Chains A and B, each alone.
Chain A
Amino acid sequence: MTATTKSLNLPVQGMTCASCVSHVEGALKALPGVSDVVVNLATNKACLTYDPARVTLADMTRAVDDVGYTVPTAQLTLDVRGMTCASCVSHVEEGLKELDGVTSAVVNLGLGTARVTYIPGVVTVSQMKRAVRDVGYEAQERSEGADALDRERQAREEEIKRQARNLVIAGTIGLIVMIGTFYDMLGPFKAFVPVGLSYKWVIGLLTTPIVFGPGRQFFTNSWRGLRHGVTDMNLLYATGIGAAYGIAVINTLFPKAGFGGEGATFFESAALLTAFIILGRWLEALTRGRTSEAIRKLMKLQPKIARLIRDGGEEEIPADEVEMGDLILVRPGESIPVDGIVKDGYSAVDESMLTGESLPVEKKAGDNVIGGTLNKTGAFKFTATRVGKDTALAQIIKLVEDAQASKAPIQKLADWVAGHFILGVHMLAVVVFLFWFFFGYRLFFDPNSSFILSPYKLGEIGVFGFSLLLSVTVLVISCPCAVGLATPSAMMAGTGKAAEHGVLFKGAEAIENASKLQTIVFDKTGTLTKGEPSVTDTVVSGQWAWMVDDQTTRHPPLADQLLRLAAITEKNSEHPLGEAIVRGAETHTVGTLAEPEAFNSIPGHGVEARVEGHVVLLGNRKLMRERGVDFSGLMSQAERLEGDGKTVMFVAVDGQSAGLIAVADTLKEYSVEAIQRLHKLGLEVAMITGDNRRTAQAIARQVGIDRVLAEVLPQDKADEVKKLQALGQKVAMVGDGVNDAPALAQADVGMAIGSGTDVAKETGDVILIKDDIRDVVVALEVAKATMRKVKQNLFWAFVYNTLGIPVGAGLFYPFIALIISPELAGLLMAISSVTVTLNTLLLKRFKPSIRREDRPQRGAGERQSQLAPATASGD
């Protein structure tokens, strides 16, 4: 191996035989700069030598992929401490990406994490940690679940304590320094202040521990970064504090040096600037953790103890030791430790913490229960079906964490801007210095001018002191402290808020895209509708009404009697329409359904049965025509129902027309409300279905759909979405996460609805846990609120800089004879960070326009809407 070449053990997956070995070897050897390739089938590794100047690891990975094998990657999350701004984000990311074997690195400033995708064996975790340390930050591997929660909280508390300690030191001494500096202006209060405090050397002595104590962090961090070619906000602070302190020391020790003399010592600037910057850091540390409260809430739901039934007795074990198949007992008021199926018992379970469903859900034998939810009333036993990382709660936590660790496109832009901003600011500081040194001071300087909000006159300050002051102020006031927090803090709060309502965003990009949507396409069957036929109408023939009247009373109502007869006739039928009639009769409480005395299926036409001594014929129009039953009096009704997309079945009793029963796939209970809300949000709503146009139009009319895409085969749904996108529309597809996967993937935002809690399996950018179509509205409202917050935050982050830089650079000095002091600039920057974080916290008050409390008891609405009996006069 020469000095310019490197050796590498590249893991390769998918090789099964010697021919695979030769394929991989051939592919790698074909790359320029790669030599000595030896592929080992047993170890699944390719040992090779390569010239990094001619070939990259990405080239090799691609070459292996191209011949049908894969270079496996793994993911790791590092907790990174010490990041304060967007430029820190890019430094850590670049530091990690520079390592051979790291394929991607995404840093989240809000969470203080770096998610690294790497090739195991090529790069080690310790190398990654060292790379992060090399650019000036601390890194450690992130632990899972409760451990991570504890570690994160501990780290945050440590940071808060550290900055609080620094703030107490810098704030207290800084206050004393300020009193000493303005001693002459204290008036009657002078009597309470020792005169020695006003001596410059005393003020200098007091300022020194602030600069080298609490302020030391800025110097050490910026130096570590500079050594590796990176600049961050620490550098702005360090140059600002350093310059103010350095000049003050020179002017105190050598007043004749010409830097402005004793009248231009900036000790208070150095002291207060440090104090204000630390105030900003402390407030940031305090508030930053709160934006990730949702994830902590979810983690806290993880129960600690499970009551295991073993050998007939109860045993308390840690919840994470429960194994699949274990029988668990849950008593009233206890949390359910893992996911499972109820074996015995009955209870109501509060699932609101995971699904957002406000009403307790009844659980009986055979029902699923979710780990982390709260058992309210009864005791029950259940069999564990999903444990550890497979539980719904663990999957949801993982999904929300992943979403919070991802980056929205707007954030990438903000990070890029902030990353380059700091260098730009230093260049600007040079320009400002040169201008005031060579031109400005001579043309505009007024000895009676002063700092804004300060009686302190600039007096005898010299050309260098004045120019330096403005240059330093520009450095401090330009600091993009808040830019790095603006987007991730809002994204974290938004994804957390959505999760509280059972809406899981898979990434920050999904939130950004969801906020820009123009068209929502709903899959019809199973999404807008229940996906199974139900009885919608019963029409009683006047002739049959007369017959019944003649023999019995009208109790129960005639429509119910007709339905009961039809249900008994269909009781043994396996036809979906027959099953719908039986279900309809059962829900409509028409009494017990006896067995038919005789039953005969007429394939393609209907059924015939003897019920309670009557011959009941149930089937289509053709069957009735063949049997000579006259339905002319009900034909207009039948045509109207068919026009509404319903399937009409004709019922004849003893050879006479008895009535019609219409069956259709009915709307879900909240479909109409959801579509109305979407319209209010200004969105176009489309429906996609394989049904014929007439049926589709009928459903669309009921629900208020704007655009109908009918007779679309399942495999063509993605193409229909593509057509809408080609019209320039931002399209969301709402559908079943499994069946509609291609269309969900094609859409700008794919929403998988009603997935339940097995969220890991779902395709789509947004997962709606509940089978409630109104959550589409919740998802869009959360996304819009989050993006609104992001934009507000970016505005607040940049407005201070935009307004502050010209003032700091002395643009208005010739007119107002006032300049901003470095410490005031520092205070403004601290305020900008706090403004952004507090603005994000307002997102906690977000409430979707649809309130869960408005929902009627589950099932009640279904019963009300299912049957709309009608009677009609027949012939």
Chain B
Amino acid sequence: MEHEQVEKEVARKSALIYLPISIGAALLFLLAATLLGDYPVVAKIGGTVWVGLLSLIVSMPIVTSRVKRQTKH
């Protein structure tokens, strides 16, 4: 039971870190796409989603395992 609670806590804490990171990366892409060229809106949105998704995939395991380690120690 205790183990599950710890896991939930880790998941919550991690999400508070990796979600802003991936949303930040996506918004950064949107900003760059808006400033750097005349891209169609759909390409900008699609790119933002794709960059956000990949950033989420990259940051999620890194952040979660780090938070887990910190919680344990």
Contacts and interface: CB of A to CB of B under 8 A. Distances in A.
B29 A434 contact: yes
Contacts of A433: 47, 50-51, 54
A243 B50 contact: yes
Interface residues of B, number: 35
Interface string A460-478: 0011100110010000000
A360 interface: no
A438 B42 contact: no
Nearest to A242: B53
A52 B2 CA distance: 13
Nearest to A56: B73
A843 B36 CA distance: 57
Interface string B4-48: 000100110010000000000000010011001101111100110
Interface residues of A, number: 41
A130 B4 CA distance: 10
A749 B66 CA distance: 39
Contacts of B55: 430
Contacts of B36: 438
Contacts of A228: 7, 64
B57 A239 contact: yes
A702 interface: no
Contacts of B42: 257-259, 464
A437 B43 CA distance: 9
Q: Is the interface of A mostly helix, strand, loop or mixed?
A: helix
A98 interface: yes
A141 to B, nearest CB: 19
Nearest to A94: B65
A462 B57 contact: no
B47 A437 contact: yes
B19 to A, nearest CB: 13
A308 B42 CA distance: 82
Contact of B41 (A230, A243, A258): A258
A23 interface: no
A462 B50 contact: no
Nearest to B11: A227
Contact of B33 (A56, A130, A229, A437): A437
B51 A463 contact: no
Nearest to B69: A98
Interface string A423-444: 1001101100110011000100
A463 B50 contact: no
A423 B61 contact: yes
Contacts of B67: 229
Contacts of A438: 32-33, 36-37
Contacts of A468: 46, 50
Contacts of A42: none
Interface in A258-295: 258-259
Nearest to A464: B43
A230 B61 contact: yes
Given A259-B46, A464-B46, A430 B62 contact: no
Identify the interface centre among B7, B42, B50: most chain A CB within 10 Å of its CB. B50
A663 B26 CA distance: 88
A427 B58 contact: yes
Contacts of A227: 11
Contact of A430 (B7, B54, B68): B54
A229 B50 contact: no
Contact of B73 (A53, A243, A463): A53
Given A259-B46, A437-B33, A429 B61 contact: no
Contacts of B10: 229
Given A434-B29, A464-B42, A229 B61 contact: yes
A438 B31 CA distance: 12
Contacts of B51: 430, 433-434
A228 B33 CA distance: 33
A6 B72 CA distance: 12
Contacts of B65: 94, 229-230
A231 B61 contact: yes
Nearest to A467: B47
Contact of A426 (B43, B46, B54): B54
Nearest to B44: A464
A134 interface: yes
A463 B39 contact: yes
B64 A423 contact: no
Nearest to B53: A239
Contacts of A463: 39-40, 43
Nearest to A91: B61
Contacts of A243: 50
A127 interface: yes
Interface in A121-155: 127, 130-131, 134
A464 B47 contact: yes
Nearest to A226: B60
B50 to A, nearest CB: 6
Contacts of A437: 33, 43, 47
For A430, A437, A471, the residue with the greatest tally of chain B CB atoms inside 10 Å of its CB is: A437
13 contacts: A98-B72, A131-B3, A227-B11, A229-B67, A229-B68, A239-B53, A258-B40, A437-B33, A463-B39, A464-B47, A468-B46, A468-B50, A471-B50
Rank and list the top 9 A-B pairs by shortest CB-CB distance, nearest first. Answer: A229-B64, A258-B42, A464-B43, A258-B40, A229-B65, A464-B46, A229-B61, A257-B42, A430-B54
